[in-house]
Amino acid sequence: MKRLLLPLLFAVALPAGAVEDTRQFVQMPAPAQAVLRAEMVDMLVVLHDAGSEFATIAKTGDAAKALAALPKLTGQCVSCHTAYRTR
Ligand code: HEC
């Protein structure tokens, strides 16, 4: 079992670690970074609101409408997070 587990662990861990970070680095002073972080926490609240809007649509059982509302949930978050980093 141990002999199987180790190579398996490497197979899972290595490719993930080898992925190149292509996000653009944005250098900002510590206070600005703190403000950004606070804004991001607010974003999480926005996400909960959008989540409940999505849940309301999903509850109607209209799959097409629900699918259309899905990208609204995390689309902007994902596109910005995949483009930029601050550290
Ligand atoms: C305009 C760009 C932008 C958008 C849009 C955006 N973010 Fe961020 N977010 C950032 C950046 C830049 C960071 C810092 C990432 C880093 O340096 O690792 C960040 C970090 C975060 C963090 C980590 C904060 C911490 O404690 O370190 C959370 C949580 C987060 N974002 C949530 C969200 C959510 C949820 C949304 C969408 C509702 C969102 N963000 C949309 C730019 C954005």
Can you spell out the DSSP letters for 9-48?
HHHHHHHHHH----SEE----HHHHHHHHHHHHHHHHHHH
Mean pLDDT of the 50-66 span: 91
Q: Dump pLDDT digits (tens) for 6-50.
A: 454 445 555 555 689 999 999 999 999 999 999 999 998 888 888
Bridge partner list, 25: 85
Give residue 77 CA to ligand 1 midpoint distance, Å: 7
The per-residue pLDDT for 4 is: 52
The per-residue pLDDT for 16 is: 53
Residue 73: count of CB within 10 angstroms of its CB: 14
Tokens matching residue 70: 């899905």
Q: Tell me the pTM.
A: 0.76
Is the Cα dihedral 48, 52, 53, 54 positive or negative?
positive
Who contacts 27 (Cβ-Cβ below 8 Å, separation ≥6)?
A: 86
Mutate to test the pocket of ligand 1, among 24, 35, 37, 40 (most ligand atoms within 8 A of CB): 40
